[in-house]
Amino acid sequence: MISLIKKTKYFLLASTTALVMLGASGCEDALQEKVYSQVATDDFYKTLDQAQLALNGVYTYLWNDNYRDGQWVTLGDVTAFTLIGGGSANGSGDRSGIQNEWNTFSWTPDANELVTAWDYFYQVINRSNTLIDKLEVADFQGKDKILGEAKFLRALFYFNLVRIFGGVPLHIKATTDLSEINKPRSTEAEVYTQIVNDLKSSVELLSPLNKADLTAGKATAISATSLLAKVYLQQRNWKQAAEEAKKVMDQNVFDLFADYENINNPDFQNGKEHIFSIQHGGNANSTSQIYQTRMIYLFGPPAQTVKGVNVQFHSLKDLVIFQAKKSFFTESPDTYRKWQSVRDKMPYYYKNGIKELVRDTVTMYAPFLTKFHRVDFATGFLKEGVNYPLIRYADILLTYAEATNETEGPTAPASEALNKVRRRARAVGTASEQSVKVYPDLTGLTKESFRDAILKERAQEFVGEGHYRWDLIRHNRLISNAKANGVAAATEKHNLFPIPTQQISRNNQIKQNPGY
């Protein structure tokens, strides 16, 4: 902890102290150390440049272990049975038989992914709180925009926490002292109220839209409106979700990429479909800084034996955690989108390490998620410049379709929103366009069959992006889905994860979720 504090150049004692209190250490001695070469909290946040520097520190925490190391995918995809894996890198070999806590629903309060989620999300919330507190009393031009971005980020991470754990302690002021950390859990409704209030404020503070912020990957008023639509959707506030999603659609700022491949193509980052993405943590578009960009290596495909030859598909051949679940792969229609998301074939391979590139299609022993796989063929390195999308325009279209269906049934506008995503899945309007027979538009559905179609669409559209668990929970299907995938022990308690043991031991006002 001491070294962490001394390395922090600009993050002020308030944020650093909270990192100790809400984060992974719990070491009180660190609080007694003198902090040198830092700007005093009261002397900071006096200029736009200082506030922007502090905001950058909040954005930096987006690219943490939870997203960068695939932990969000473990929580959102593996427990929903679109992917299999989770935990540490497994090296080469078929993962179909892996039985771990995530695909057997045997997770515990000591699971690293849960400990990390609590630690990192509260750390970034406290950074946001520090910035918000200071900006609300500051007086300089341009502060409203930074305040709006900070409130968006605080809302985003409380949204993550409430989906994972349910009601959590609600900190909306910077935590600067140990006496401030022992708070009981707020109710789920109270947390959602705070999220909604932050996002409404963010929309106001970030309006009108600055289009330069879109290409820079920053939060905007549309980002806040889009997240508000998703928050309402998760709460089953269908009418409000449809209204907020429609606001985004009516602004005509975003649209689908015609080519699904471009969603995760670094040449198109922060493009017309990307409402809000985590900016990649690497330094270039074709290097291999593994520590900063683990996410791109975690999904495979790994080295394997093909036609009796040992081959690999990029330079770091064995750092793989996830594999597509074979039943999910088999049941997904053979669309262009499927090829650009999950595949069991590759159109190239390397022999002799990465010395010899062979342009030939080979069948792999299992399907792998390839949507983040962008290889520099000259070097064999994966390209670092792959952002991680948190909100895409496809999500807004499907949010609108789902929410409208729940209140009005499958109206023509709701059906068109769904079918627009389906048409893109078969690459309509591109050189790769498939026959309508491969993936036709849907018509004549009942409310129930339209709901089923939306959930299937979301599973295929967002595989590997950490959405599907929350989609299933929204319709009370997580447990039945787990049982259909062989997890007889799945019960209602599994709709929430347990509070990490270390948090309960530190704060005796926190009560564990039922059943744990």
| Residue 515 DSSP code | T
Cα 52 to Cα 38, 125, 150, 275, distances in angstroms = 17, 16, 10, 21
Q: Which residue has the tokens 């744990």?
A: 516
Q: What is the pLDDT of residue 36?
A: 33
Q: What are phi and psi of 298, to 5 degrees?
A: -80, -15
Give the number of other Cβ atoms within 10 Å of residue 112's Cβ: 14
Cα 66 to Cα 7, 49, 63, 120, 465, distances in angstroms = 22, 29, 8, 8, 12
The pLDDT profile of the chain, 516 residues, written as one tens digit per residue, is 333 323 333 333 334 333 333 333 333 332 233 333 444 566 678 899 999 999 999 998 898 889 988 999 999 999 999 999 876 665 667 888 888 999 999 999 999 999 999 999 999 999 999 999 999 999 999 999 999 999 999 999 999 999 999 999 999 998 877 666 789 999 999 999 999 999 999 999 999 999 999 999 999 999 999 999 999 999 999 999 999 999 999 999 999 999 999 999 999 999 999 999 999 866 555 555 555 667 888 888 999 998 889 999 998 887 788 999 999 999 999 999 999 999 999 999 999 999 999 999 999 999 999 999 999 998 898 888 899 999 999 999 999 999 999 999 999 999 999 999 999 999 999 999 999 999 999 999 999 999 999 999 999 999 999 999 999 999 999 999 999 999 999 999 999 999 999 999 999 999 999 999
Q: What is the pLDDT of residue 377?
A: 93
Q: What is the pLDDT of residue 8?
A: 34
The b/e string for 49-61 (b: 16+ C-beta within 10 A; e otherwise) is ebbebbbebbbeb
Task: Write down how long the chain is.
Answer: 516
Output the six-digit token pair for 199: 């996002």
Cα 123 → chain centroid: 17
Residues paired with 84 in a beta bridge? 323
In order of their start, the domains of the chain are: 47-206 (1.25.40.390), 294-386 (no CATH), 391-487 (1.25.40.900)
Q: Tell me the CA end-to-end span of the chain in Å, nearest whole number.
A: 31
Q: What is the pLDDT of residue 319?
A: 79
Cβ(303)–Cβ(368) below 8 Å = no
Q: Do you find a cis peptide bond into 169, omega within 30 degrees of 0?
A: no
Task: State the Cα–Cα distance between residues 500 and 72, nearest whole angstrom.
Answer: 16
Opening angle at CA 69, ends 68 and 74, nearest 5: 115
Q: Which residue has the tokens 């683990």?
A: 294
Q: Do you find a cis peptide bond into 301, omega within 30 degrees of 0?
A: yes
Nearest to 235 by CA among 170, 188, 186: 188
Backbone conformation region of residue 265, classed left if phi is above 0, alpha if psi is from -120 to 50, else beta = beta
Cβ(281)–Cβ(68) below 8 Å = yes
Task: State the Cα–Cα distance between residues 382 and 399, nearest whole angstrom.
Answer: 33
The answer for residues whose C-beta is within 8 angstroms of residue 507's C-beta and 6 or more apart is 169, 181, 182, 183
Q: What is the pLDDT of residue 22?
A: 39
The answer for residues whose C-beta is within 8 angstroms of residue 86's C-beta and 6 or more apart is 70, 73, 74, 78, 100, 101, 102, 103, 113, 321, 322
The b/e string for 473-489 (b: 16+ C-beta within 10 A; e otherwise) is bbbebbbebbeebebee
